[in-house]
Structure 1
Amino acid sequence: MDHRFQTFVYGTAIALMIGWVFYIGRDVFVPIMFSVFVVYVILGIARLIQSIPVVGRKLPQWVISLLSMFIIAFGLCLVVYTLIANKDSVIAQAPRYQESLLAAVQKVAVWLRFESEPTWTTLRRDLLAQVSLQRLVGSALSSVSSLVATFVVVGLYACFLLVERGHLEAKINAIAHSPQHAQRIKQVIADINARVGAYLALKTLLGVLLGALSWVIMRVMGLEFAPFWAVVIALLNYVPYIGSVLSVLLPGAMAMAQFGDANHVLSIMLWLTVVQFAIGNFLDPYIMGNSLNLSPFAILVSLAVWVALWGVAGAFLAVPITAMLTIIFSEFPGTRPVAVLLSQSGKP
């Protein structure tokens, strides 16, 4: 058997086994990866604070670390508070939104010249079998308590990772076969920290800016629960490509349920699209550049793979995980071709 083909078969089998382990152990791995995600954001923001002219250089390192941790903790608390604060209000308003949606559907039916205007009874019977917007919203928001518990676990993991970070160099020296081997491992870790940390920190700042601008638009246009949707839009900024589309469609669906007026809905969606386009096509490339050196096609494939393995969590973690794997693969002759294929420039 050809050596390269044999290596390919073994590599594919190992990849499938690792993927299966990730799939069945997603309840364990997802919080761990999110804690790594949070640590990278904290360290990235600390580096950004340190790079501020005059002020950043004068601040002690422990002050910068505490400030960056406070920023992330405040952001996580804001997300949890926004979800909890809007839960009961959304469920209470669901019947009114259901009536607005029915009115919108009836307008479309009249425009399409249906013989009879649909009702929720006919829609249940003909399309959805059983629809209750209040029950649907209630079940969608019923997992808020588990989400809060996940945030607590992620926060604990992140704290311990930050504490263990100080002993990492000694551990690498202890397990490495030689000083050269230890130095190579440290270099790979430093490369991952620099590229992934900078990407996540800048992506977080852009997400905050995007959420703030979207909140102003939705507030001016009179959309209810604007803070909630602003937080959702900021979080969706981490999801490549699909996140931008959902950041427009989800508030648009909310506007349709609230107003039932196509002109108002299109106006909100248009302004949100303008903000997404401006930040995604001008500010994002200017600030981010090509920091991760990942192929757009590789990003899409990784997004599909990690969503299949870990669901919604995989959508948020796909890009940083793929960037880490690309850097690691580039260090070994057997996996370097994979890193080349994943990279955009062909030089991982």
Structure 2
Amino acid sequence: MSDRTIDPPLSPPPEPVTEPLPPARNPRDPVRVAVVGLFVIALLFTLYFGRDVLLPIMLALILSLLLRPCVRGLYRLGLPEALGAAVVVIVVFGAGLGAIFTLATPATEWVNRMPRVVHELEFKLGDIREGIDRAREASRQIEQMASDRNGTAREVVVRGPSLAEQVLHQAEAVIANVVILQVLLYFFLARGRQSLEALIGTMRDVDDRVHYAMVAATVQQNIAAYLATITVINIGLGLATTLAMWLWGVPNAALWGTLAGLINYVPFIGPAVMTAVLFLVSALTFDGGVHIFGPPLTFVALTMMEGNFLTPMIVGRRLALNPIAVFVSILFWGWMWGIPGALLAVPILAILKILFDAHEPLKPIGALLG
């Protein structure tokens, strides 16, 4: 036997410890974010600078959703859609024109009374006016001291168009927009369904055609029911306001009732503005404290009853919208398109909610709006 010892087998070398590599970043992510950001900026610029074109289109589209059931009802009675659409447009704009002529006289009277109204308000709010005059005088003295230090300042007067020219320009713009709105509304009512069916028919996938047909039907039914319900509620609020103002003895009660019904399409802001208007009218009409605060407080009670009980009970939860989303929508569209944009803010938000709920990736946004 040999004296040599057998060496133990060599153990394999330890595997080197490797730290896990961080997940590789997709180099296209920053590009995608930049493209989305540029698209949003371009969309905002288009909405803002194209409001003269986009506003009549959007208003005609929403009115067509509201009036489409009327055209469908006339079609069931035997009238073709083209003729039914013409009848609906003539009736709607004829009723609006009649209301304008009826309320034009009291509205003109209040406009002509504005100088006297301002004088009466200054007299009744004398203490507040004195404080404003003192602040104005102090500001003038500060400006005069600054101009004395920097030398004599030159005053440049820029003469703009006269009041008559501005009124004429605004009247021309309103008439042009009304004519465009009538034409667009007629075509949406007469040819809108066929155009939508032709667009959906171009899709190759049958499931997509069925899905988008159902989405279009949902938008039509829900928005039409929502707008019709809100319109009936606002008409009821206008009638109740007219009756309340007549009982309080406020002049031109029908004018304030009509304004209350129209401005109630703008939640939160509309009733607040109407309350301030009624307070000013009461302050100019009455002398006693009860009579001054009675009409605006009555209107506040009516709007609280409508907003907290009547509208939730009738509209239900089918298109219940988040109050924060509603307020932000009013601010956004009011900034974009002015008063018409504020009136259209809630219907646009309701349409967006339905569209978001119909697409799986956008359902979280729809849930946030609802």
Deviations along 1:311-333, whole A, 9 cap, x unmatched? 11111111111222222233444
Structure 2 Cα separation of the partners of residues 61 and 149 of structure 1? 33
Structure 2 Cα separation of the partners of residues 273 and 75 of structure 1? 28
Q: How does 1:1-348 map to 2 (within 5 A)?
A: 1=25, 10-43=35-68, 60=77, 62=79, 72-82=92-102, 84-106=104-126, 108-109=127-128, 118=130, 122=133, 126=137, 143=170, 146-259=173-286, 261-342=288-369, 344=370
CA shift, 1:164, in A, is 0.9
CA shift, 1:256, in A, is 2.0
State whether residues 56 and 177 of structure 2, in contact with CA within 8 Å, keep that contact through their aligned partners in structure 1: yes
State whether residues 207 and 237 of structure 1, in contact with CA within 8 Å, keep that contact through their aligned partners in structure 2: yes
Q: What amino acid does structure 2 have at the position aligned with 1:322?
A: L
Deviations along 1:8-65, whole A, 9 cap, x unmatched? 6544442332122111100111111111122122135678xx7xxxxx9xx8375996
Structure 1 Cα separation of the partners of residues 279 and 291 of structure 2? 9
State whether residues 89 and 186 of structure 2, in contact with CA within 8 Å, keep that contact through their aligned partners in structure 1: no
CA shift, 1:250, in A, is 1.5
Distance 1:320 1:88, change over 3 A: closer
Structure 1 Cα separation of the partners of residues 181 and 247 of structure 2? 35
CA shift, 1:96, in A, is 2.8
CA shift, 1:173, in A, is 4.0
Distance 1:99 1:124, change over 3 A: farther
- Higher-Rg structure is 2
State whether residues 107 and 255 of structure 2, in contact with CA within 8 Å, keep that contact through their aligned partners in structure 1: no
Deviations along 1:95-123, whole A, 9 cap, x unmatched? 332232122112x45xxxxxxx7499x48
Q: What amino acid does structure 2 have at the position aligned with 1:33?
A: M
Q: State, as a whole percentage, how many aligned pairs show the same letter.
A: 23
Aligned residue for 2:7? none
Structure 2 Cα separation of the partners of residues 5 and 327 of structure 1? 31
Structure 2 Cα separation of the partners of residues 123 and 225 of structure 1? 36
CA shift, 1:74, in A, is 4.8
Gaps of 5+ in 1: 51-55, 110-116, 130-134
State whether residues 307 and 314 of structure 1, in contact with CA within 8 Å, keep that contact through their aligned partners in structure 2: yes
Structure 1 Cα separation of the partners of residues 258 and 351 of structure 2? 27
How many residue pairs end up in the alignment?
A: 320
State whether residues 42 and 72 of structure 1, in contact with CA within 8 Å, keep that contact through their aligned partners in structure 2: no
State whether residues 282 and 293 of structure 2, in contact with CA within 8 Å, keep that contact through their aligned partners in structure 1: no
Distance 1:290 1:70, change over 3 A: farther
Structure 1 Cα separation of the partners of residues 294 and 328 of structure 2? 33
Structure 2 Cα separation of the partners of residues 329 and 215 of structure 1? 39
CA shift, 1:152, in A, is 3.2
Q: What amino acid does structure 1 have at the position aligned with 2:105?
A: A
Deviations along 1:54-84, whole A, 9 cap, x unmatched? xx9xx83759967865763354224432553
Distance 1:105 1:243, change over 3 A: same
SS of 1:292 mapped into structure 2: coil
CA shift, 1:176, in A, is 1.5
The TM-score normalised by the length of structure 2 is 0.73
Gaps of 5+ in 2: 1-24, 141-161
